[in-house]
Structure 1
Amino acid sequence: MRLDRNLCHWRIWAFIAFMAFWPRAASADDITPERIAAALSKLEALAEAAVADGTVPGLAIGVVHDDEVIFLKGFGHREAGKPEAVDADTVFQIASLSKPVSATVVAALVSDGIVSWDSEIADLDPAFRLADPYPTSQLTIRDLFAHRSGLPGTAGDDLEDIGYDRAEILHRLRFVPPSSSFRAGYSYSNFGLTEGAVAAAKPTGKSWEEVAEEKLYRPLGMASTSSRHSDFVKHANRAALHVPVNGAWAAKIKRDPDAQAPAGGVSSTARDLSQWVRLITGNGVYAGKTLIAADALAQTHVPLMTRGKNPVSGGESFYGLGWNVEFGRHGPSWGHAGAFSVGARTLVTVFPKEKLGIVIIANAFPTGVPEGLSDSFADLVFDGTVEKDWIKAWDGIYAGLFGPAVEAAKAAYAAPPSPARPAGPAGAYAGRYANDFIGDAVVSSAGDGLVLKVGPAGARSYSLTHFDGDLFLTFPDAETPDRPTGVNFVVGPDGKASAMTIEFLDDNHLGTLRRVGDR
């Protein structure tokens, strides 16, 4: 048994002891039924105002206290401009809120003795590889759920964007160079966590989706919850995804996250998620029955990796196993946010000592409404008054996520140099290119321009417009359709391109493909 494993139990109990003495603004005894009732009334008013003023089209909220669902309600509309209302049973795509849900599923497997948090991936899924042999041989479920494998945060997201499925993406992670030494750095990775979940399910002989149903969704009666996109779209009562278009919310884009289902592919309702929060606040006990051993679940809340400070409240923030662990103005809390930039925002916050939890799911991006409502509710419960306009503060954070990058890209490609260098003939660029990570790409002429096809069987097609010399532009991102990106060719002495670099696939310096044939 390695030293890491000997230390893990010490860390758990040290953390629990530390939590017991953490100072807070109010004790559990101060949180009277009257104060909670007043907080819920004001929370409802804040949610209604957020919908009324167009901050989000729709949202749903569930609040749990002392093993009871004390608030459950929907607000606004499932789709902007349509009459159907959001209620407690409206199904939302919950994005990265999937991560703590999936951590709970793995905790159930740990509780049942099927795996441990320190089970090695090499034993569970021998075909999986990281770029380096030592981390590959030592990697555990714990490492992947704590985002400390060394995988860069975006590893695999680019392959998902161009149409590859989960199995192919996980296979190709072996070509991604690490962004940090093994267990030395925190890098939030959708497909790293996905591998951890998939590997944990392997000993059962069942798919991850089946295991999640068997170990969590069915025992808690979460009848509208699934890790399959096909189940989400079967629901008539489901929320659309919204992005701002000309100052108004519009349901423009659909998102199928099946490839990263454990990390971002769960769909659920406020009613169902409230049952999950009951299990979390009950330390694995649900409706009087122990469903998950307390020690298996407690390990998910041990702070393993530092994340710095909360950007709005300033609280110290860490990552456990699929959970953020924060030490803020109201004491320790566990939580996780979720977002699809195509139009989803979600949040769970749990105050463990008070057995208090809130889940908020909304159908728009960017918006800070979930955090704003959660922080306001916590202020009301602990202090009796809201410290500041938390929705406004969080809106500022989310509004800045993409804006600067989009504007920088627009500025970089605002206009070609004058005079611009001419492009070569189409034949100079047309051909087949490849590397191990991206796979094949084909460039062909189309009218007066070029077309780039990438992904399995050319699943994604992008028009290329000449910009300067051997540099062409394309607009690959449906989420930010006015954001240009470059495709740069290297033309050899024979007048043909020997390689090209696809900027939007080059986050991890794997976007350069070599010519392997004329077609």
Structure 2
Amino acid sequence: MEQFSSETRYTFPSGSTATFSAGWSFDFERSVLSSPESDLNLYFFEDAFDADVEALALRYWKKVNPDFDWKVYENASFPGSDGWSVIHQISYDVPVRESQSVFAVVRVVDEKAFISLAEGSAAAFGRRGAQFQTALYGWKPAGLKKEALGERTAKLFDDTLQNEFTELVNRLMTDLQIPGASIAVISDGKIVYERAFGVKQLGSPDEVQNTTPFMIGSITKPLTTLMLGKLVELGTITWDTPVQTLLPDFTLADKNLTSKMLMKHTACACTGMPRRDLFVIGPEDVSAEDMIVQMASWKPTTGFGETFQYSNELVAVGGYAGASAYRRSSSLFRSYQQAMNDLIFMPLGMHTSFVKPSPEQNSSLAAPHAQDFNGTMTAIPQAIDNMVYSVAPAGSIWSTAGDLAKYVLLELNEGKGENGQQLVASDQIQKRRAQGVKISDTAWYGLGLGILDDRGLQAIGHNGGTFGFSSDLWFVPKDRLGMVVLTNAGMSHAFHDIVRQKLMELLYDAEKKSEERIISVLRREEDGLKQAHERVKTQPTDIEWIKEYVGTYHNGELGVLEVKMLNNDIVFDVGRWSSTIGSAVEHDGDKLIALTAAPWSGSWEIMVVNKPKKLILDFGQHKYEFVEAQKD
């Protein structure tokens, strides 16, 4: 057993290699990598490929643990990439109360299988996920022939290529039920393609226009750090300014970390502070100030600078701190609105972008959508996505593909606007792109920007997702190329992935994988829907037992929710949104409440305790217990 004191590229006896992070331990005899807390294990095996991948994986699980008896929940196959011919992932049916994930990944090349077995607590995958991915997906055989695009030069995106691209987008929107989309492409440093597709809301004839705003989710982050970079240029702040200097009320449960927190750390995803995104439950009017008060009880779960952990709240703190230094207003939210308008939207000519729409703008917006329990795309209440306004600098901006293309041009032009004027200093543009903490073996996080080695091309950008919207923005500085894709459909990242792949095929002659990916996505969606219906039952007799849990429940951090009867239905109600309920039954007979309305659609399962009555929401690193209020 060896514990690594620094990141190490380990070579297996076969010649294959993998990257192991500092603090992890490797047992050479058992071929298992273990996390620093010893609650996550990753095994490595090589064998001849067997078409019965479930049997192949089980054979090695039995080698690891003769008593292994988890049943297969899902066996999914994915088109090959990065030199692999095909990739299989097998997940196992572990009861929710175990709070564990167990799965196998079998990657195949030249009829040889590289078998990875993973088991660990949900909390471990949450805090060590990036280091785990680095080891898992960075494991490669000697001589693996990856596609190499770095030495190629992008073609111009001419009319012929645009027509082929548009044809794919139209087909994909139908196949994947995307209601509306807004897409822009930058080629050779110019916006050459800006198109709107579909409708603003299903059931309405109003078509998406180039001026239709979409919620862009986490693409807000690079815009926020651009604003902070401008403030550094102006001398208002520095990246090394302590956060508490600007926001005296900001504090964490770890006082040492509080004092160490500089402005650059709010956007680096490197502080050890975990993700806590359950503000979808609780009152809609939570303010930025309320959020900062809540953070006083929060603690890091990994060491400072140790690994990638994504925190929307910390990015929000940085955005609010910088904005309040620029112009203190009646609230942190209003200060942020003012800073973004003055320093980003107006100078860049982003006239259809805003932090939050006014009542007069509501009719112009795209509406949020998600798939329901039957797999049909449907509109969902905007109130569900309004959760983001308390963390506005991390994810609340509305924009269009055309406006965001202007931002991409600014990045490609090293801070210069369309007229050649230097709007943001070039050193601040570069500062945000510097490789920081690792996300995987080929990806890093800067300051609100992801940096990806995409088959030898350096691609920079960010994606975003709320419950009813999905977005993607990226650019290749070498070729002055970029793309923005916005959709009014939650969890539609498969659409974005295929659209991006198609553009790479057209401009770089990348391997033709887009058609194969469409088939794969549709097959997995069909299989997933079947599995959901097998697991979650919604007939009155199936959910009768839930009536025992009708009542009002309280959690000190998230507030109040209800399980109640409404027109003979049992409903889960948090105030600003509600959902119908189904019953999920584990193989050991344990029962859970499953939310079945879109966007949850059976995927959100809630544990129950009878005495005293509790509802338990498990989000890996955090469990939230809602205790039944005493009845009069």
Instruction: Give the aligned residue type for 1:237.
Output: S
Question: Which runs of structure 2 are paired with 1:96-495 in the superposition (5 Å)?
Answer: 96-155=218-277, 157=279, 164-204=286-326, 205-206=328-329, 207-230=335-358, 234-245=361-372, 246-254=374-382, 255-256=385-386, 257-286=388-417, 287-308=419-440, 316-342=442-468, 344-367=469-492, 368-383=494-509, 386-389=512-515, 392=518, 395=521, 410=536, 435=556, 437-438=557-558, 473=593, 475=595, 479-482=599-602, 485-486=605-606, 488=608, 491=611
Q: CA deviation at 1:150?
A: 2.0
The DSSP-based 3-state class of the residue aligned with 1:180 is coil
Q: CA deviation at 1:348?
A: 0.6
Alpha-carbon distance change, 467 to 62 in structure 1, aligned in 2, over 3 angstroms: closer
Q: CA deviation at 1:451?
A: 9.7
The DSSP-based 3-state class of the residue aligned with 1:130 is coil
- Distance (Å, rounded) in 2 between the aligned partners of 1:277 and 1:127: 35
Work out whether 1:511 is the aligned partner of 2:624.
yes
Percent identity over the alignment is 20
Contact 2:449 / 2:461 at 8 angstroms: preserved in 1? yes
Q: CA deviation at 1:107?
A: 1.7
Equivalence for 2:130: none
Instruction: Give the aligned residue type for 1:238.
Output: L
The DSSP-based 3-state class of the residue aligned with 1:80 is coil
Instruction: Give the aligned residue type for 2:246.
Output: L
- Distance (Å, rounded) in 1 between the aligned partners of 2:527 and 2:235: 41
Alpha-carbon distance change, 399 to 103 in structure 1, aligned in 2, over 3 angstroms: farther
- Distance (Å, rounded) in 2 between the aligned partners of 1:445 and 1:123: 50
Q: CA deviation at 1:133?
A: 0.7
Deviation per residue, 1:161-212 (Å, 9 max, x gap): 7763332122112223322122222111222211111112121224111101
Structure 2 unpaired stretches of 5+ = 1-146, 330-334
The DSSP-based 3-state class of the residue aligned with 1:504 is strand
Deviation per residue, 1:11-34 (Å, 9 max, x gap): xxxxxxxxxxxx963657x4454x
Alpha-carbon distance change, 341 to 464 in structure 1, aligned in 2, over 3 angstroms: closer
- Distance (Å, rounded) in 1 between the aligned partners of 2:593 and 2:238: 48
- Distance (Å, rounded) in 1 between the aligned partners of 2:502 and 2:584: 49
- Distance (Å, rounded) in 1 between the aligned partners of 2:375 and 2:487: 18
- Distance (Å, rounded) in 2 between the aligned partners of 1:244 and 1:422: 27
Q: CA deviation at 1:74?
A: 0.9
Relative to the length of structure 1, the TM-score reads 0.76
- Distance (Å, rounded) in 1 between the aligned partners of 2:520 and 2:450: 17
Deviation per residue, 1:216-272 (Å, 9 max, x gap): 0011111110011436x7153321212224443221321223122211111011221
Equivalence for 2:149: 25
Alpha-carbon distance change, 163 to 463 in structure 1, aligned in 2, over 3 angstroms: farther
- Distance (Å, rounded) in 1 between the aligned partners of 2:607 and 2:280: 15
Contact 2:474 / 2:483 at 8 angstroms: preserved in 1? yes
- Distance (Å, rounded) in 2 between the aligned partners of 1:442 and 1:422: 12
- Distance (Å, rounded) in 2 between the aligned partners of 1:143 and 1:379: 37
Alpha-carbon distance change, 322 to 393 in structure 1, aligned in 2, over 3 angstroms: farther
- Distance (Å, rounded) in 2 between the aligned partners of 1:151 and 1:484: 24
- Distance (Å, rounded) in 1 between the aligned partners of 2:176 and 2:597: 25
- Distance (Å, rounded) in 1 between the aligned partners of 2:344 and 2:500: 25
Instruction: Give the aligned residue type for 1:285.
Output: K
Contact 2:229 / 2:428 at 8 angstroms: preserved in 1? yes
Q: CA deviation at 1:129?
A: 1.3
Instruction: Tell me the C-alpha RMSD between the 2 structures.
Output: 4.3
Contact 2:354 / 2:398 at 8 angstroms: preserved in 1? yes
Relative to the length of structure 2, the TM-score reads 0.64
The DSSP-based 3-state class of the residue aligned with 1:123 is helix
Alpha-carbon distance change, 160 to 507 in structure 1, aligned in 2, over 3 angstroms: farther
Comparing 255-264 with 383-392, which one deviates more in the overlay? 383-392
Comparing 55-64 with 162-171, which one deviates more in the overlay? 162-171
- Distance (Å, rounded) in 1 between the aligned partners of 2:150 and 2:213: 35
The DSSP-based 3-state class of the residue aligned with 1:85 is coil
Q: CA deviation at 1:322?
A: 1.0
Equivalence for 1:20: none
- Distance (Å, rounded) in 2 between the aligned partners of 1:441 and 1:366: 25
Q: CA deviation at 1:449?
A: 12
Q: CA deviation at 1:401?
A: 13
- Distance (Å, rounded) in 2 between the aligned partners of 1:421 and 1:42: 52
Alpha-carbon distance change, 75 to 440 in structure 1, aligned in 2, over 3 angstroms: closer
Contact 2:283 / 2:559 at 8 angstroms: preserved in 1? no
- Distance (Å, rounded) in 2 between the aligned partners of 1:288 and 1:237: 31
The DSSP-based 3-state class of the residue aligned with 1:199 is helix
Q: CA deviation at 1:89?
A: 1.2
The DSSP-based 3-state class of the residue aligned with 2:444 is strand
- Distance (Å, rounded) in 1 between the aligned partners of 2:371 and 2:627: 39
The DSSP-based 3-state class of the residue aligned with 2:452 is strand
- Distance (Å, rounded) in 2 between the aligned partners of 1:462 and 1:84: 27
Q: CA deviation at 1:363?
A: 1.4
Alpha-carbon distance change, 67 to 169 in structure 1, aligned in 2, over 3 angstroms: same
The DSSP-based 3-state class of the residue aligned with 1:219 is helix
Contact 2:547 / 2:570 at 8 angstroms: preserved in 1? no
Q: CA deviation at 1:152?
A: 1.4
Q: CA deviation at 1:50?
A: 2.1
Aligned length: 471
Instruction: Give the aligned residue type for 1:169.
Output: M
Alpha-carbon distance change, 396 to 307 in structure 1, aligned in 2, over 3 angstroms: farther
Equivalence for 1:12: none
Instruction: Give the aligned residue type for 2:413.
Output: G
Alpha-carbon distance change, 398 to 222 in structure 1, aligned in 2, over 3 angstroms: farther
The DSSP-based 3-state class of the residue aligned with 1:144 is helix
The DSSP-based 3-state class of the residue aligned with 1:83 is coil
Contact 2:498 / 2:514 at 8 angstroms: preserved in 1? no
Deviation per residue, 1:95-151 (Å, 9 max, x gap): 122122222222221222212222211211121112211111111222221112222
Alignment counterpart, residue 80 of structure 1, candidates 202, 213, 235:
202
Q: CA deviation at 1:453?
A: 8.2
The DSSP-based 3-state class of the residue aligned with 1:284 is coil
Q: CA deviation at 1:445?
A: 11
- Distance (Å, rounded) in 1 between the aligned partners of 2:516 and 2:289: 41
The DSSP-based 3-state class of the residue aligned with 1:353 is helix
Contact 2:370 / 2:598 at 8 angstroms: preserved in 1? no
- Distance (Å, rounded) in 2 between the aligned partners of 1:405 and 1:173: 38
Structure 1 unpaired stretches of 5+ = 1-22, 310-315, 492-496
- Distance (Å, rounded) in 1 between the aligned partners of 2:295 and 2:520: 33
Alpha-carbon distance change, 394 to 67 in structure 1, aligned in 2, over 3 angstroms: farther
